Amino acid sequence: MKTNRILVLSLALVVALGVTSLASAQGTLFVENNRVSIGTPTPTAPLDINIGTNTPGSGNSVLRLERVGPLGFQMKDTNSADFWQFSAATGAAAFRINNSTTPGVALSLSKTGNLTILGSIFTANCAPCVSDYVFESDWELMPLEDLEEFVWTNRHLPNVPSQKDVDEAGALDLVTMQMKMLEKIEELTLYTIEQHKKIANLETRLAEIER
């Protein structure tokens, strides 16, 4: 009786998710060990959809959810009551993610592509992640005269992407740009230290002359 109830619930879930292509070889429905699958005779999860490269539906979607009005789904751990809610609705924030531990919307994506998050953004996709190499003894600062010529000739800082570079790439790598900005700040610090030494030396010499 319990097995039959699980099977009925699984089949109902498949229908509710809007999976409509069950006739093709890739869309065949299988039931194995109380698991339901589409496209694979050996499901590895209670609901397993694996239809290879020949995906049916508009836009070759593997899974399509549609209804009249707001749409969403939830993933929940019934032991801890922790959950994640994913929802799409009308309005400025077209897609939202909420969770059980953080009040408010954890992430929202507007229809125009604006991304808003409640917390911080972390990345491990950087090598090196900071530009401390500027402070190594073998790092050579460009003479200010050469830097001035480069800036007025190229209209951007050395080793920093230009507007043309960004336009050709079609996007801006924020991690790379952040590191380039830090590199220039650290170089500016070294320029400032050098200028301070020169000013201090001139002040000492001036003081000796005025004696």
Under 8 Å between Cβ of 107 and 117: yes
pLDDT confidence of residue 56: 53
The whole-angstrom separation of Cα 87 and Cα 168 is: 35
Q: What is the 3-state secondary structure (H, E, C) of the chain?
A: CHHHHHHHHHHHHHHHCCCCCCCCCCCCEEEECCEEEECCCCCCCCEEECCCCCCCCHHHCCCCCCCCCCEEEEEEECCCCEEEEEEECCCCEEEEEEECCCCCCCEEEECCCCEEECCCCCCCCCCCCCCHHHHCCCCCCCCHHHHHHHHHHHCCCCCCCCHHHHHHHCCCCHHHHHHHHHHHHHHHHHHHHHHHHHHHHHHHHHHHHCC
Using one digit for the tens of pLDDT, what is the confidence trace for 151-200?
999 999 999 999 999 999 999 988 889 999 999 999 999 999 999 999 99
Other beta carbons less than 10 A from residue 116's beta carbon: 13
Out of 38-52, 67-81, 82-96, 196-210, least confident range? 82-96
Count of CB atoms within 10 A of residue 98's CB? 19
Return the ∠ at Cα 25 (arms to 24 and 26), rounded to 5°.
Answer: 90
pTM score above 0.85: no
What local confidence, expressed as pLDDT, does residue 138 receive?
92
Identify any residues that bridge with 200 across adjacent strands, giving them in sequence order: none
Residue range 40-59, pLDDT digits in tens: 888 888 888 887 665 555 55
- Residue ranges covered by each domain of the chain: 2-60, 71-117, 132-209
The answer to whether the beta carbons of residues 98 and 84 sit under 8 Å apart is yes
Ranges 7-16, 146-155, 158-167: which has the least confidence: 7-16
Average pLDDT of the residues in 125-131: 80
